[in-house]
Amino acid sequence: MTSIHQPQKMKLDAKIPAGPLEEKWSNYRSKGKLVSPANKRRLDVIVVGSGLAGAAAAATLGELGYNVKCFCFQDSPRRAHSIAAQGGINAAKNYQNDGDSIYRLFYDTIKGGDYRSREANVYRLAEASVQIIDQCVAQGVPFAREYGGLLANRSFGGVQVSRTFYARGQTGQQLLLGAYSALSRQIAAGSVKMYNRHEMLDVVVIDSKARGIIARNLVTGELERHGAHAVLLCTGGYGNVFFLSTNAMGSNVTAAWKAHRKGALFANPCFTQIHPTCIPVTSGYQSKLTLMSESLRNDGRVWVPKKKEDRLKPPHLIPEEDRDYYLERMYPAFGNLVPRDIASRAAKVVCDEGRGVVKSGYAVYLDFSDAIKRLGKATIAARYGNLFEMYQRITDDNPYETPMKIFPAVHYTMGGLWVDYDLMTNIPGLYALGEANFSDHGANRLGASALMQGLADGYFVIPVTIAQYLADEIRTPRIDTNHPAFKQAEDQVKGDLNKLLSIKGNKSVDDYHMALGKIMWDKCGMARNAQGLKQARKEIQALRKEFWENVYVPGTANEFNPELEKAGRLADYFELGELMVIDALTREESCGGHFREEYTEDGEAKRDDANFLFVSAWEFTGTGNDPVLHKEELVYENVKPSTRSYK
Amino acid sequence: MKFTLKVWRQNNAQDAGRFETYSLSDVENDMSFLEMMDVLNQQLIKEKKDPVAFDHDCREGICGMCSMVINGHPHGHVKATTTCQLHMRSFKDGDTIVIEPWRAKAFPVIKDLAVDRSAFDNIIQAGGYVSVNTGSAPDANAVPVPQDLAEKAMDAAECIGCGACVAACKNSSAMLFLSAKVSHLALLPQGKPEHKKRVISMVKAHDEAGFGSCTNTGACEAYCPKGISITNIARLNREYLTAALASEEAV
């Protein structure tokens, strides 16, 4: 694990098309290059990941005639973590006639992201949102409907219109199964070859272009070489760096990190989303946290007792006048529907004041009693029945009778691989889609926007933008996997796996992962300061050193070995964790999910547009070395960045 | 809480396999079943022994990855639950718990409790989709769908593809899984144009994968973590019959 890169001299070019905002994407599509059907058949594309972005991209590129290989580490593409998204997907359909429009969705997303995302990308996202709903309905996604048979909508945090489409509390599941069915159709047609239980462990770069991957067959342990004219990373987020998060156990940063080590820049790594409504931690053995959909805040009221001494009293014994509905008090305009970062921070503030409602002190109430009185139990059950049931199953408490206890938890990562307007990283031919890239959500993602972005990237953006690159690749023959670059990458992977197995130390992978998670949560979580971040970097480095000397990984590399998979992913988290801390330290302002205690005004986040109106894109220079910062200045031509106010 | 665990250990599909017995203390009430398995594996790793391989991912009951037969019950004895959402509070302190993989010819064991469920993917590939290319869809509200139909379709679409129905069935039939997808799409106007071709092709893939026939015992419904109803199998049978009668090809 030595330094492999000399810092690159580069000027980041986002390649945003010229022209007015509303015309950029349509002009791009009308004037862009095309690849003829005969040539598409000769071009190979690798898609890593089979979530909303990956499955949508693989299916659509297959439909267009490209030769696609798709990889997922799960036992079936249908299990990618997009499946767990609950609440819904935004689209600017304006079916409710409540004043929504593409511009308004664009504006809300830019504002919600605290002015740290790219205007052109977000506008394109809002445009695509409309087509996404059409596509999903045609696939048979059973969205909620009104009695008249038309589509129903609900509202979500951070906005004042109803534009969220949903399928009970399982919207992610239904959208993913839609994309999975489209993917399955292409697998049957022979245009996509699917590799289940395969993990990408390196990207192969030849003459500075991405030309393939090294993948490990997780059942046999065999390393495989796969060549392609382009490689798409649709590998999700890195919330599990915190050990406890709402991500699936297998969600990981490895594919993105290997690309970063090969020269791809990593953008805004410190922008993580802490979701306000999750089930609080109960024990030291806890393996993951469970989200309760943000949609619950439509009807639930968040509160803690006014007096510290009431905090462990049964809630029904606390009279109305002794309750502090703090979100309604602090943010009267949006109340319980403020964006996620604001709701999370407010929960932290009241808990830090000693008013948290469980023994550990880290929980607040989400109370449905008013809504049940107003609408009746049946209506609430129809809206949230499955969520209530899930809550009761996990906590053994009945939310129809007693308020839910909730606390923020790591949920989503806005940061990711730096990409241009084409979704291409700075390595030609290497793309990043969905949560794996950084481009659309700035410093804070609005609810119901992740599904929108994953599907927009996969169904509607990449099929157009990839042609700009592949049109110039039609003379490149099939990639020869005997090229020395493949052997070199494979040897590196083999060496890393053998090293992990040879340490034979005394602590398990989980021991180290929990320790890393604690550093990240305490010092790079909901609130950060320079002193803590500096300390965190030292602690991570020391822990990483110990890991490489004292971890115990059982078994061999030539078999089904889940502990070995975990060890490799953790090794990458150590390096990512350090980069996140460096990024958080460098960004001397508070914006969105990044809250620096030194930069506040009346307790609220204080953004610094004069000095930090840029994307931080980091270049890898070797493990433990200082990375090099490249800045992409953010230009706002249509929206004037202002102080985000939800009061 | 303390438990005695009898866990199925099998190195690979060729290995005959055997039960091994482990004792576990310090299990907490609020732990999920998989967190209890984590504690067992941490204990085995500390003893430098081979941890138990099992499939799991989201741990919130939606990905369908977890798959254990617990004391003879797929996903355990609590109704409408996945293994990851089963909690230790539903066991008695001191219990002996027997843990096995899904057992079915079509789901070969990969290792210990992890099995290969690719056969489910094959069934979906045989026709579990609407043939609509990206970009060709009409406006989403162009075709109204009666609310009760949309709800019924959603009831069927909630299937997580875990395979508990197969593990529960004495014939290892995957009819509940298959019928859930056939119903979901047959109920919606968007799925209508292909419904005959779909059902015939999917049933064929089901049989070819080595799943058994349905003899209506209802075990699948009883163990389905999402409560998918066997009325879907009745709908599948109707769909199949009408499609077969209308078909010009031999079925």
B147 and B65 inside one domain: no
Closest CA of chain A from B140, distance in Å: 4
- The burial of B237, by beta-carbon neighbours within 10 Å (0-12 exposed, 13-18 middle, 19 or more buried), is given as middle
Contact residues for A484 (Cβ-Cβ < 8 A; gap 6+): none
Select from B60, B65, B128 the Cβ nearest to the Cβ of A184.
Answer: B128
Counting one residue from chain A and one from chain B, the pairs whose CB atoms sit within 8 A come to: 214
CATH number, domain with residue B101: 3.10.20.30
Q: pLDDT at residue A288 above 60?
A: yes
pLDDT at A3: 42
Given a contact cutoff of 8 angstroms between Cβ atoms, the answer to whether A433 and A462 are in contact is yes
Check CB contact of A555 with chain B, cutoff 8 Å.
Answer: yes
In a domain, B17, yes or no: yes
Cα radius of gyration rounded to whole Å, chain B: 20
> Predicted ipTM?
0.98
Contact residues for A411 (Cβ-Cβ < 8 A; gap 6+): A239, A245, A246, A247, A273, A274, A275, A278, A291, A340
**What's the pLDDT tens digit per position in A191-249?**
999 999 999 999 999 999 999 999 999 999 999 999 999 999 999 999 999 999 999 99
Instruction: Determine whether A340 is an active site residue.
Output: yes
Provide the domain limits for residue B150.
118-246
Q: pLDDT at residue A1 above 50?
A: no
- Angle among Cα B103, B219, B225 to the nearest 5 degrees reads 80
Residue by residue, pLDDT tens for chain B (251 residues) are 999 999 999 999 999 999 999 999 999 999 999 999 999 999 999 999 999 999 999 999 999 999 999 999 999 999 999 999 999 999 999 999 999 999 999 999 999 999 999 999 999 999 999 999 999 999 999 999 999 999 999 999 999 999 999 999 999 999 999 999 999 999 999 999 999 999 999 999 999 999 999 999 999 999 999 999 999 999 999 999 999 998 766 55
Q: pLDDT at residue A400 above 70?
A: yes
**Which residues of chain A make contact with B85, given a CB cutoff of 8 A?**
390, 393-394
Question: How many other C-beta atoms are found inside a 10 Å radius of the C-beta of residue A482?
Answer: 9
Residue recorded with tokens 């993990």: A199
**What's the pLDDT tens digit per position in A553-568?**
999 999 999 999 999 9
pLDDT at B246: 86
Of B75, B110, B145, the position where a domain reaches its end is B110
B172 and B84 inside one domain: no
Given a contact cutoff of 8 angstroms between Cβ atoms, the answer to whether A101 and A94 are in contact is yes
d(CA A111, CA A126): 14
Of B63, B89, B110, the position where a domain reaches its end is B110
B134 and B80 inside one domain: no
The larger pLDDT score, comparing residue A341 to residue A45, is at A45
Question: How many other C-beta atoms are found inside a 10 Å radius of the C-beta of residue B81?
Answer: 21
What is the total count of domains within chain B?
Answer: 2
The larger pLDDT score, comparing residue A166 to residue A284, is at A166
Q: pLDDT at residue A295 above 90?
A: no
- The burial of B244, by beta-carbon neighbours within 10 Å (0-12 exposed, 13-18 middle, 19 or more buried), is given as middle
B96 and B168 inside one domain: no
**What's the pLDDT tens digit per position in B152-208?**
999 999 999 999 999 999 999 999 999 999 999 999 999 999 999 999 999 999 999
Q: Do B134 and A182 make contact, defined as CB atoms within 8 angstroms?
A: yes
What residues pair up with A227 in beta bridges, in sequence order? A212
Instruction: Please state the rounded mean pLDDT for residues A455-471.
Output: 98
Closest CA relative to residue B232, chosen from B194, B202, B197: B202
The b-or-e profile of A578-609 (16+ CB within 10 A means b, else e) is bbbbbbbbebebbbbbbbbeebeeeebbebeb
In a domain, B251, yes or no: no
Q: pLDDT at residue A6 above 70?
A: no
**What's the pLDDT tens digit per position in A426-449?**
999 999 999 999 999 999 999 999
Q: Sign (positive/negative) of CA torsion A184, A190, A193, A196?
A: positive
Q: pLDDT at residue A267 above 80?
A: yes
DSSP A23-51: HHHHHHHHHS----HHHHTT-EEEEE--S
**Which residues of chain A make contact with B133, given a CB cutoff of 8 A?**
60, 63
Q: Do B62 and A76 make contact, defined as CB atoms within 8 angstroms?
A: no
Structure tokens that stand for A27 in this block = 């002009």
**What's the pLDDT tens digit per position in A577-626?**
999 999 999 999 999 999 999 999 988 899 999 999 999 999 999 999 99
pTM of the shown model: 0.97
**Which residues of chain B make contact with A246, given a CB cutoff of 8 A?**
60
CATH number, domain with residue B137: 1.10.1060.10
Return the percentage of chain A with pLDDT > 90, whole number. 91
Cα radius of gyration rounded to whole Å, chain A: 24
B171 and B77 inside one domain: no
Domains of chain A: 34-274+423-470 (3.50.50.60), 275-411 (3.90.700.10), 484-632 (1.20.58.100)
**What's the pLDDT tens digit per position in A10-19?**
789 999 999 9
Closest CA relative to residue A390, chosen from A273, A277, A238, A245: A277
Check CB contact of A472 with chain B, cutoff 8 Å.
Answer: no
B-proximal residues of A, 106-145, CB under 8 Å? 131, 133-140, 142-145
Q: Sign (positive/negative) of CA torsion A470, A475, A479, A482?
A: negative
Instruction: Please state the rounded mean pLDDT for residues A472-482.
Output: 98
**Which residues of chain A make contact with B227, given a CB cutoff of 8 A?**
none
Closest CA of chain B from A463, distance in Å: 10
Interface probe, candidates B62, B89, B117, chain A, greatest A C-beta count within 10 A: B62
Of B85, B110, B135, the position where a domain reaches its end is B110
DSSP state of A291: B
Given a contact cutoff of 8 angstroms between Cβ atoms, the answer to whether A77 and A70 are in contact is yes
Q: Do A76 and B89 make contact, defined as CB atoms within 8 angstroms?
A: no
B-proximal residues of A, 63-82, CB under 8 Å? 63, 74-79, 81
* Residue B65 CA from chain centroid, whole number: 8
**Which residues of chain A make contact with B31, given a CB cutoff of 8 A?**
283, 285
B99 and B162 inside one domain: no
Longest dimension (CA), chain A: 76
Q: Sign (positive/negative) of CA torsion A548, A549, A552, A553?
A: positive
d(CA A159, CA B117): 42
Check CB contact of A50 with chain B, cutoff 8 Å.
Answer: no
Q: Do A84 and B60 make contact, defined as CB atoms within 8 angstroms?
A: yes
The region that residue A301 occupies, defined by phi over 0 for left and psi between -120 and 50 for alpha, beta otherwise, is beta
B81 and B47 inside one domain: yes
Report helix angle A171-189 to A119-139, nearest 10: 80
- The burial of A22, by beta-carbon neighbours within 10 Å (0-12 exposed, 13-18 middle, 19 or more buried), is given as middle
Q: Do B132 and A135 make contact, defined as CB atoms within 8 angstroms?
A: yes
What residues pair up with A628 in beta bridges, in sequence order? A619
B16 and B97 inside one domain: yes
B92 and B167 inside one domain: no
Q: Do B48 and A170 make contact, defined as CB atoms within 8 angstroms?
A: no
Check CB contact of A187 with chain B, cutoff 8 Å.
Answer: yes
- The burial of A378, by beta-carbon neighbours within 10 Å (0-12 exposed, 13-18 middle, 19 or more buried), is given as exposed
DSSP alpha helices (H): ranges in A414-456? 450-455
B127 and B223 inside one domain: yes
Return the percentage of chain A with pLDDT > 70, whole number. 99
Structure tokens that stand for B116 in this block = 């290969």
pLDDT at B34: 98
What is the number of helices (H) and of strands (E) in chain B? 8, 7
B133 and B242 inside one domain: yes
Q: pLDDT at residue A44 above 80?
A: yes
Contact residues for B121 (Cβ-Cβ < 8 A; gap 6+): A76, A77, A78, A184, A187, A194, A196
Structure tokens that stand for A166 in this block = 């949903």
d(CA A221, CA A500): 14
B126 and B17 inside one domain: no
Q: Do A168 and B117 make contact, defined as CB atoms within 8 angstroms?
A: no
